[in-house]
Chain A
Amino acid sequence: MRMTDHSAALLEKKSLSTVRLLTFIIFFAEGTAYFAFSNVGFKQLPRWPYGALSLIGLALWAFTISKPKLSLKTSQSITFTCLFSALAVATFQNLFMYRDGQVYQPFLGHKFIALTIGMMAPSLQKKGMVLISLCGIIPVCIYYFVIPPEARQLVFRPEPWTTFITAAIGMMILHHRISEIKFEIAAIEATYAKKHAEDKASTFLAIRDFVSTPLQTLILEAAILREKFPQARTDLDRLDGSIEKILELRKKFNEEDVSPSTHLSIDANHIIENLKK
């Protein structure tokens, strides 16, 4: 979609707001996981991936907060990196969760990431779709190809399909949000296009009004010269003909009624002064 500077600025602002919130969530959620999982019986679960990602989230959050403005590309890259890292950590940790022999709820991270992308990161578009697909496919693969058959009994039913369906829902939300963003951009573009057209029309009307007096002077002067210099008749006929063409053009302009709004007041002096600047 072709975007003007206004739409690009809006998307940039939205993406910066998203990346700030997302990096904070990553810091907070992974930090919580770091302290929580070992306290609920997962002794063989390595804690360092949670801790590392939490610190990365904190650093990126601090970075985005320190920047009043961030390019769309940078915001999107940080968002993607955070979500991809969170997916990697969630996948890695699921390879260890069954080892303590207790019943557990797997793939929480995958569900969380799929829904987060759908709701928060529509600007990722294709990258977001790939990540959500991975959130749905990886749990199925882990469940059927990585976790030993006897360990599957420990998995809280019904998995991995709950996660798969959650990913499908995340995908639908993402699709909806992408359409919503496109609609929003189209609305912004239409608003600015209308404003631009109104400005142009106002300028044309101002020029039309502004030339009225010089045109009147030309008409009067042509009549005076015709009186003073009858021998210049041919030249004055040409002058009158040209004036007539301008008058015809003005008449058409009036008939077309290019006024952006019948209620809009055109201050020709003000508009012409602005043009001079």
Chain B
Amino acid sequence: MIEGKSAVNNSVLLLDDDSDLIAAMSELIAMQSNRKSLTANSVAELEALGGKIHVCNIAFLDVNLGPDKPSGIAAAKWLREQGFKGKMYFFTGHAGNHPLVIEASSVSGVEIIHKPIDIKFLLGLLSGDAHD
């Protein structure tokens, strides 16, 4: 599903199995930074987006996309294979000792962010500000 029709390469890619979170996040991002969002609930939906992903320069990938389903780690791998040049973040609600989070931490160049984050922090990430 694509939210908006931005041709500029500053859209945000959101991958999360929680539709409410995706809807709220994309709406807030549109409000606060006037950026469009490209959203997917699963790796399959992400792959279906194909070349559209290149309009995004930042991606928030939920690590755990449901039991027995490809994780955000598989999504990051696919994005790399597609030549995605944007900044990627793993977005997770799980603790650091969750097996998927441990696996995600070994993926180089992708930072892990733990939910919930506050709005300022999120906007900071979008604007590319340094953060803790």
Chain A positions near chain B (C-beta within 8 angstroms): 205, 208-217, 219-221, 223-224, 227, 247, 259, 262-270, 273
Interface membership of B130, Cβ < 8 A = no
Q: Which residues of A contact B32 (CB under 8 A)?
A: 223, 227
9 A-B interface contacts by CB (under 8 A): A212-B94, A212-B114, A213-B115, A214-B20, A219-B117, A220-B21, A220-B27, A223-B32, A247-B116
Given the known A-B contacts A209-B98, A217-B24, A220-B25, are A270 and B67 also in contact in the complex, defined by CB atoms under 8 Å? yes
Chain B positions near chain A (C-beta within 8 angstroms): 16, 18, 20-21, 24-25, 27-28, 31-32, 64, 66-67, 92-95, 97-99, 102, 114-119
By secondary structure, the A interface counts as helix
A262 to B66, CA, bound (A): 24
What's the least CB distance linking B52 to chain A, in Å? Answer: 23
A243 to B103, CA, bound (A): 30
- Contact partner, B18, options A213, A227, A262, A269, Cβ 8 Å: A213
A13 to B32, CA, bound (A): 69
A268 x B98 contact (CB < 8 A) = yes
A213 to B14, CA, bound (A): 14
Given the known A-B contacts A209-B95, A213-B18, A224-B24, are A269 and B115 also in contact in the complex, defined by CB atoms under 8 Å? no
What's the least CB distance linking B67 to chain A, in Å? Answer: 5
Given the known A-B contacts A213-B93, A269-B64, are A224 and B28 also in contact in the complex, defined by CB atoms under 8 Å? yes
